[in-house]
Structure 1
Amino acid sequence: MTTQPDFTPPPNAHVYPLHTPRGTFAVVAHPAAPGVDPRGTALLLPGFTGSKEDFTLMHEPLAERGYRTVAIDGRGQHESDGPEDDESAYERGELARDVLAQAAALGARNTPVHLLGHSLGGQIARAAALLDHTPFRSLTLMASGPAQISDSQQQRVKLLRDALAVMTMAETWEAILAMGPPEEVGGPARGIGGPDLLRRRWLGTKPAQLLATGRQLTTEPDRVDELAALPLPFHVLSGASDDTWPVPMLDDMAARLKARRTVIPDAEHSPNADQPLRTAQAVADFWESIDSPPATETDA
């Protein structure tokens, strides 16, 4: 059987620890392409059971559009450290404050960054913006809905929580594989890299992080109206189908936010993995609409 190759960062990417007052976080950063005028920096947050590697195929096309991209493992996620058993360290407010510290470490106090979160990462990004929107130039919610996940996905998260109560991470991994690879929640997320990477990032993630964030996904309240009150440009992007938050629900959220809405054809809950070039193009188009100065009579 042919397997996917293990993860290799893009040629111009840098893998390094990002030091902040709230801890050190593992990142993959990619500069704007040589010869392209730099347009800004984007901070990319992965989803539940995911990792910074999930954005691998988006770095280079975004670099060609002038964007420096920084994908990050959150606290207790893959290669970023965190408590093994203390779920309080992963409360939504704690993770949101981590994002504010990450943005500050990337220079957001001087030049706000574009914030993008996939799935769980979108809800953490939302919480960070609600604490303080000033470090951010915009907010993109990728396959990330207004409140708790769908009933079917809640059942998957419950199965995972029940398994972690009686099994180690390694034992849980084997049990999940025996059931087949679920999408995004309840098991190893489909993403970039081969089986070795997926197993390594699963074993690197802290059980308390999965337990706490899994609970958040099943209980998250609707905070769209609070978010809509912020003076930020919003972008709601998803695949053409999604069983974690149904597409009509994402359509409605975008309308409530007065957000740009993008649906990526032939993609599901992970458009960054399913259709990375189309997704990168849509994201860059949104960012450029904000970063470009408005046309004047002499520009027309």
Structure 2
Amino acid sequence: MSTPRFLDLPPGVAPQKRETPQGTFAVLEAVPVSGVIERWPALLVPGLTGSKEDFIAVLMTLAQSGRRVVAVDLRGQYETPGPADPTAYTCAALGADIDALAQVVGGGEPVHLVGHSFGGLVAREAVVDGVTKFASFTLMSSGPGPIEGRRARNARKIAEEVPALGLEHLWHHRFEREALAADVSDDIREFLHRRLVSNSPTGLSQMAEQVLTMRDRTDELRQIELPTLVLFGEHDDGWPPEAQSEMAARLGADSVVVPGAVHSPAVEAPETTAAALVRFWNAAEKHYLDTRSSAV
């Protein structure tokens, strides 16, 4: 379970609705408080029990690098509605949503794509399907295949318990206890409760099943030849840091280990995470322009 550092939106960040051919999506959109938008935009995709709010602590910093930055609730997550059809929540189906969103957000420009945890598996589908030309791809605390360890056990409970017992049961018997044990403040605990029970039960249980069964597509991703960053906390308890480092090596990708962070670097170490993303995005844009210039 991840918790935003704060719930008040920083300057330049506002809630929006984005219309796409795949439906309407709730987003947080950040633009520079000072200066102008002069760089390619970015799209941030949250994890299984998360939402766009998980990126609040990095949005303003990312936008101040001169770009529009959009964090989204996936279909069936928090403030984005979703159908009762289980097939709407496969990684491939959700990846098609990301394709549509990226095309709207980009408005003809390439988009930097970031996927956190389960969101990384979803974003990977959008990259591999080849529908959209992305500027770069960042896997944040997201591994090559099924999630492991404690988080795998939690995902299995979600997949099994939600269809039978519902979201309120999940809150009272798991998430509330974790929040209380972590001494989470009342306002954030209220937000976490509201967020969890706003999910589509079908969506959450199916997404949990996906994160437990997703196959390794690293070799396919490598074939795309897209600038890729693998970023994770040094104490990640979702996919082992060694597995993520190995995935980065297989991809020939840049790798950043965030000191002190666990599974949510954007929450636990926002300034380090934002700085790493901005460096990577700027380098990807420079590489693109240099390659284009040499081709001419």
Q: Report the TM-score, using the length of structure 2 for normalisation.
A: 0.90
Paired with 2:249 and 2:85, the residues of 1 have a C-alpha distance of 38
Is it true that 1:274 corresponds to 2:268 in the alignment? yes
Give matches, 1:118-197, under 5 Å.
118-132=116-130, 134-177=132-175, 179-181=177-179, 194-197=188-191
* Structure 2 unaligned regions, length at least 5: 292-296
**Local SS of the residue matching 2:106:** coil
Q: Write the deviation string for residues 168-188 of structure 1: whole angstroms up to 9, x where unpaired.
A: 212221111464249xxxxxx
The residue type paired with residue 231 of structure 2 is L
Match of 2:71 in 1: 71
Pair 17,37 (structure 1): closer, same or farther in 2 beyond 3 Å: closer
Match of 2:86 in 1: 87
| TM superposition shift of 1:226 | 0.3
| TM superposition shift of 1:40 | 1.5
Q: Retained in 1: the 8 A contact 2:143–2:243?
A: yes
Is it true that 1:260 corresponds to 2:259 in the alignment? no
Paired with 2:258 and 2:176, the residues of 1 have a C-alpha distance of 31
Alpha-carbon RMSD: 2.2
Q: Retained in 2: the 8 A contact 1:103–1:135?
A: no
Give matches, 1:199-218, under 5 Å.
199-218=193-212
**Local SS of the residue matching 1:200:** helix
The residue type paired with residue 57 of structure 1 is A
Paired with 2:198 and 2:104, the residues of 1 have a C-alpha distance of 24
Match of 2:34 in 1: 34
| TM superposition shift of 1:63 | 1.8
| TM superposition shift of 1:280 | 0.2
| TM superposition shift of 1:12 | 1.5
Pair 79,37 (structure 1): closer, same or farther in 2 beyond 3 Å: closer
Q: Retained in 2: the 8 A contact 1:119–1:143?
A: yes
Paired with 1:228 and 1:138, the residues of 2 have a C-alpha distance of 13
Match of 1:185 in 2: none
Could you list the structure 1 runs, at least 4 aligned residues long, displaced by more than 6 angstroms after superposition: none
| TM superposition shift of 1:158 | 1.7
- In the alignment of these two chains, the number of paired residues is 282
Q: Retained in 2: the 8 A contact 1:6–1:197?
A: no
State the identity as a percent.
Answer: 38
| TM superposition shift of 1:65 | 1.6
The residue type paired with residue 176 of structure 1 is R
| TM superposition shift of 1:163 | 2.0
Query: Could you say which structure has the higher helix fraction?
Result: 2
Paired with 2:61 and 2:26, the residues of 1 have a C-alpha distance of 22
Pair 199,40 (structure 1): closer, same or farther in 2 beyond 3 Å: same
Q: Retained in 2: the 8 A contact 1:33–1:66?
A: no
Q: Retained in 2: the 8 A contact 1:43–1:116?
A: yes
The residue type paired with residue 281 of structure 2 is W
Pair 179,196 (structure 1): closer, same or farther in 2 beyond 3 Å: closer
Q: Retained in 2: the 8 A contact 1:58–1:280?
A: yes
The residue type paired with residue 46 of structure 2 is P
Q: Retained in 1: the 8 A contact 2:116–2:139?
A: yes
Q: Retained in 2: the 8 A contact 1:133–1:232?
A: no
Is it true that 1:98 corresponds to 2:97 in the alignment? yes
Pair 133,232 (structure 1): closer, same or farther in 2 beyond 3 Å: farther
Q: Which moved more, 1:173-182 or 1:146-155?
A: 173-182
Q: Report the TM-score, using the length of structure 1 for normalisation.
A: 0.88
| TM superposition shift of 1:257 | 0.6
**Local SS of the residue matching 1:194:** helix
| TM superposition shift of 1:152 | 3.1
